[in-house]
Structure 1
Amino acid sequence: MYLELTVCKVTSFADIDTESSFFFIGRTDEELSLVCLTEDTPENTVEREDGWRGFRIQGVLDFSLIGILSKISAVLAGNKIGIFAVSTYNTDYILVKEENFSRALEVLGSAGYEIV
């Protein structure tokens, strides 16, 4: 079973469930963004796009490693699969639309990536 994720813009971070098992927040001078479990999407959402699924690049990635996300996104782009990428200190997460998720895993497996 894979998590159902939503990418959205919110008016404030006050309503975000910070006890949730999965969320990313971002702030710029233009917006407040949130990636969260669809079931945890707050009421103060201005815009939202549901139907995302994600996978994690396995292992802790050293900052000196170059091109990991680029290579994976190139494989997916070559197969007409768009991505939404988010990163933590340790690793990267790649989100794809639900209808492309199985195919994304298949093409990455065919390209030599181990899917666990």
Structure 2
Amino acid sequence: MNPADYFEGGTVTVSDETYTVYKTTRPDPEAFATIQDETETTVIAETGAIDEPTVVEAEHGWKRLTFEMVLPFELVGFLAAVATALAEEDVSIFALSSYSTDHVLVKEADLATATQKLETLGCVVEQ
């Protein structure tokens, strides 16, 4: 399987919402995503949606790009290809994967550059 096959004609949606990546003292059930390991809890939620007393650190100003395609577990290198393409444009990402879909967060200031680059890969970007 080739990641490029999924880019060609694949839909990427851009969130209307702006997100913040929070380091918190506990998970938040209303968050878009929560990542909890032995050392920290990271919560991705709409900006301003997290109870401030639980926030340790925050990185504001992210837009969510969702790859609206079912990506099989056997597919190797999809996120690597996305990260490499955006790195070529000096766009930093925060990557998240669900069971069958990938998401990347990009800074709002980099959104136009990121979407243009994904379009050159063959993606259809919906804003």
One-letter amino acid of the structure 1 residue matched with residue 106 of structure 2: V
Tell me the distance in 2 between the aligned counterparts of 1:62 and 1:110: 23
Q: Matched residue pairs, number? A: 111
Kindly indicate which of the two structures has a greater share of residues assigned to strand: 2
**8 Å Cα contact 1:25-1:32 kept in structure 2:** yes
Match of 1:8 in 2: 22
Identity among equivalent positions (%) equals 32
- RMSD of Structure 2 on Structure 1 (CA): 1.4
Give the Cα separation in 1 of the matches to 2:70 and 2:48. 28
- 1:35 pairs with 38, 44, 51, which one? 44
Corresponding residue number in structure 2 for 1:115: 125
Q: TM-score, normalised by structure 2?
A: 0.81
Identify the structure with bigger relative contact order (alpha carbons < 8 Å, sequence gap 6+). 2
5+ long unaligned stretches in structure 2: 1-14
TM-score normalised by the chain length of structure 1: 0.88
**Which runs of no fewer than 5 residues in structure 1 stay unpaired?**
none
Equivalent-residue separation in structure 2 for 1:64 and 1:111 (angstroms): 21
Displacement of 1:67 in angstroms is: 1.2
**Preserved CA contact (<8 Å) 1:6 1:41:** no
